[in-house]
Structure 1
Amino acid sequence: MNEPHVTLDPTTLSPVTEKLRGPLEQQLTSALQAATERVAHDYSGEPAEEVAHELLDETKAGLHQDIAAGFVPDQGELRRVAEAIVHEN
Structure 2
Amino acid sequence: MVEPHVTLNPDSLGPVEEKLRGPLQDQLSSAMKAASDRVSDDYHGEPVEEVADELLDETKAGLHRDIAAGFVPDQRELRRVAEAIVHDQ
- Output the amino acid matched with 1:63: L
Q: What are the Cα deviations for residues 25-64 of structure 1, in whole angstroms up to 9, with x where unaligned? A: 0000000000000000000000000000000000000000
Q: Normalising to structure 1: TM-score of the pair? A: 0.98
Structure 1 counterpart of 2:87, one-letter code:
H
Q: Partner of 2:77 in structure 1?
A: 77
Aligned length: 89
Q: What is the CA–CA distance in structure 2 between the aligned matches of 1:86 and 1:16, rounded to whole Å?
A: 37
Identity of aligned residues (%): 75
The CA RMSD over aligned residues, in Å, is: 0.7
Deviations 1:53-82 (A, max 9, x none): 000000000000000000000000000000
Corresponding position of 2:86: 86
**Residue in structure 2 matched with residue 16 of structure 1 by the alignment:** 16
Runs of 4+ in 1 over 2 A off after TM superposition: none
Gaps of 5+ in 1: none
TM-score (norm 2): 0.98
